[in-house]
Amino acid sequence: MALSFDAYVLQLQQSRVISYVDVASLCIWAYDYMLTLSLEISVIWTAPWNVPKVLFLLTRYNPIIDSTAAMYYFFHPGISETTCRIMYGIITWMFVVGTGCAEIILMIRTWAVWERDRRLAIALPIFFVLIWCAICISATRYLSSLEFVPIPQPFPPSCFISKRSSIRFVEWVLVMGFEACILLLMSVKAYQTVRNGPISGLVRLVHVDGILYYIVLFGLAVANMVVLLTLPEEYGNLLAFLQPIMHSVLTGRMLLQLRGYERRNIHGDGVTEFLGVCTPIQFMRNNIATSDNAPEDL
């Protein structure tokens, strides 16, 4: 379906705005990566392979694949309609995989904070599978609905979408619902802990400061909903790339700080085991001292 000259100009402007937001999001990830790389080398790369390490690496490095496809999609000269569809598919599925891995980390952490409650051990995985199966179905239908149009001269080659489904809205509703559930569980546990005793440093780190992760991620899901409801549909992906970026940054820091605490010999409290501790977000170079007798498991 051919577009009018004015429609091409409008889509080009909208595409550039989204690409600028994507580049800014990638800069956030790159800045955080440079600050935490030394800690990652010392506590992750030498650790034995296990579930937390695999989840960490998938979440940590997913934005590299995602951003490569996004930059190619937005800026590569002479890109064809077929290539546009392939790159858009990669971007979409990297979002599903990266966000899913990050949510598994947050889910396990919530389970650990709830003292490994048997009910949550059953309910949370089932809830996650149901939500992510629905997200996969939504993503598949959304991708199949896309129609790309060729770009006439004198416009620079780019990917222009002439038709898309509104089912993308379902993905953000599902993500927001899952994160709202996790945030509620963390808030209830934090309230119970604070009510039953004085706020120690560990309690503050695990419950009070830890909830900030969930508030930020839930807020991003809400922001994506607001964008879809209030802006033209061409801006529907305005904050889509920022969401997996912040999942990567926040969950990555949570695991890195956990290993940093373990190397400072904070063990055996039932909460610091297996994703149980986070520290306040500090965007500065990590100088956490290490010890030779630190455990090798993540």
CA distance 42 to 73: 35
Tell whether the model's pLDDT for residue 9 goes beyond 80: no
Nearest-angstrom CA–CA distance, 93 and 97: 6
Q: Mean of the per-residue pLDDT values for the chain?
A: 81
Mean predicted confidence (pLDDT) in 282-297? 42
Please provide the size of the chain in residues.
298
Q: What pLDDT does 201 receive?
A: 54
pLDDT 10s digits, 127-144: 999 999 999 999 999 999
Cα–Cα separations (whole angstroms), residue 41 to 46, 64, 88, 275, 284: 7, 18, 32, 18, 17
For residue 207, what pLDDT band results from cuts at 50, 70 and 90? low
Query: What pLDDT score does 152 carry?
Result: 62
Quickly state the pLDDT bin for 271 (edges 50, 70, 90): very low
What pLDDT, on a 0 to 100 scale, did the predictor assign at position 4?
Answer: 67
Q: Out of 107-116, 141-150, 190-199, 201-210, which region has the weakest mean confidence (pLDDT)?
A: 201-210
**Cα(51)–Cα(36) distance, integer angstroms:** 21
pLDDT in the model for residue 10: 77
pLDDT, residue 86, reads: 94
Q: How many CB atoms lie within 10 A of CB 119?
A: 9
- Asked if pLDDT for residue 80 goes beyond 90, the answer is no
**Residue 161 — φ and ψ, nearest 5°?**
-100, 125
Query: Can you give the pTM of this predicted structure?
Result: 0.84
Domains of the chain: 5-262 (1.20.1070)
